[in-house]
Amino acid sequence: MGCCRLALALAVVLVHGGGFSPMIGGALAVQAFFVISGFYMALVLHTKYPPGPKSYWIFISNRLIRLWPVYALVLALAAAVFWWGWPAHVKRSGLFSAWVEHWDTLAFSTKAILGGANLFFLGQDWLMFAAVDPQTGLLHLTADFTKEPLPAFVFLVLPPSWSLGVELTFYLIAPLLVRRSVRCLVGLIAASFLVRFATYAMFHHHDPWSYRFFPAELAFFLFGVLAHRLSMTMPLSLDEARRRQIGTGALVVVLLLLGTLRISKDYAVLAAFALCLPFIFEATKSNHLDRTIGELSYSVYLGHAFLAPVLLAGFQRLGWVLSPVVFSGALALASLALAAALHLGVERPIDRFRQLRARQVARPLPGTVS
């Protein structure tokens, strides 16, 4: 499973590195992450967090503890690079450039909302449906940010973190959903797709409606929840050796597909991906290397947004002109290096703390994740 997560993160990095990727499109990669998130949240809620107010609080706070420290550190690195102005190009073309250009015209309420979203990432996904009035400096809703002179998302210092807002929304309601019946989950998936088709009927079939609107994305999280429900029935029908064989085969197939599909969205592919997850998890759940690889995916996904303008400025200062393919590769390598440092220095110590908190409400089962 970890290999899949890292492959999806790298797919996003390559797209953002130059608009080129030999892998799947960025939108489909993000939606595949939603499927995996649904699977894992169903898993940890089933194995570690029994129903109850205390369990709910520890689950939600553990998710925030998992995500926010790395985010805050990368944001601090971005602020430090901007503050010291190295390289100078970063001030002009990335990170805080929108803030510098429009600071004087922004209303106080707009500064507070945009600043809070950058600090805590909750609600960043809704900024994709907002814009700033250049005359008044006030925020307003918009159905198409491409038609606005000043979309709100340009004020995001780490733009890919918008998806964390979608994830957090799911975490808030996941304990209420993952224990529902299959019939209920299927009904919610159908309702989510009805929302998607309704927005399409209103001609909102473009970004951000195509993969950033939570009610329409809920279906993909629930694909993952159903995949976990399927994994719970597997021991009844297959012996362990057979499950591992099928899981290894499913992993190879998925990785090949991730490396060859170049499409922006395909819901059938996401459904097939969800069906493969129980077998992939069974084959890799005890593999420490695979788990470590997967834990790099979050920092790779987040860190590349900070590294892209810095690397670009550095190469320009050296007078190097790189093709999109070469620059994307350099960005991927730098993102992996930063992710390894963040994993060793931040994520591992925090994970030990999270595991201790989880044990307050339930004893973890062998081979599970949090």
Which one-letter amino acid corresponds to residue 354?
Answer: R
Residues 179, 75, single domain; the answer is yes
For residue 365, being part of any structural domain is answered with: no
Q: Among the three residues 133, 156, 179, which one is the final residue of a domain in this structure? A: 156
CA-CA distance, 41 to 66, in Å (whole number)? Answer: 13
pLDDT > 60? residue 255: no
Residue 163 pLDDT more than 50?
Answer: yes
Mean pLDDT of 316-336: 88
The more confidently predicted of residues 35 and 279 is 35
Predicted local distance difference test score (pLDDT) of residue 263: 40
Same domain as 319, residue 208: yes
Which residue type, as a one-letter code, is found at position 204? H
For residue 150, pLDDT over 90 is answered with yes
Same domain, 277 and 250: yes
Structure confidence at residue 366 as a pLDDT band (50, 70, 90): very low
Residue 340 has pLDDT above 80, yes or no: yes
Look at residue 187 in the predicted model and tell me its pLDDT. 96
Span 326-341, average pLDDT: 94
The highest-confidence range among 129-138, 237-246, 351-360, by mean pLDDT, is 129-138
pLDDT at residue 267, rounded to an integer: 74
- For the cut 60, the answer to whether the pLDDT of residue 220 exceeds it is yes
Q: How many domains does the chain have?
A: 2
Q: What pTM, to 2 d.p., does this model score?
A: 0.88
Q: Quick check: is 363 in a domain? A: no
Residue 367 lies in a domain: no
Examine the domain organization and report whether 189 and 167 are in the same domain.
Answer: yes
Q: How far is CA 81 from the centre of its chain?
A: 24
- Residue 110: which domain range? 102-156
Average pLDDT of every residue of the chain: 85
49-101 residue pLDDT tens: 888 888 999 999 999 999 999 999 999 998 888 877 655 655 555 678 889 88
Please check whether residues 118 and 208 belong to one and the same domain.
no
Joined tokens for residue 328 = 């994307």
Q: Cα–Cα distances in Å, from 259 out to 8, 328, 337?
A: 10, 15, 22
Mean pLDDT in residue range 345-360: 89
* pLDDT attached to residue 262: 44
Q: Are residues 164 and 274 in the same domain?
A: yes
Average pLDDT over residues 356-362: 81
- The whole-angstrom separation of Cα 352 and Cα 340 is 17
Say what the alpha-carbon torsion angle 159, 165, 170, 175 is, to the nearest 10 degrees: 130
Q: Are 26 and 171 contained in the same domain?
A: yes
Per the domain annotation, does 298 fall within a domain? yes
On the question of pLDDT at 261 being above 50, the answer is no
Q: Return the bridge partners of 132, or none.
A: 139
CB 296 within 8 A of CB 49: no
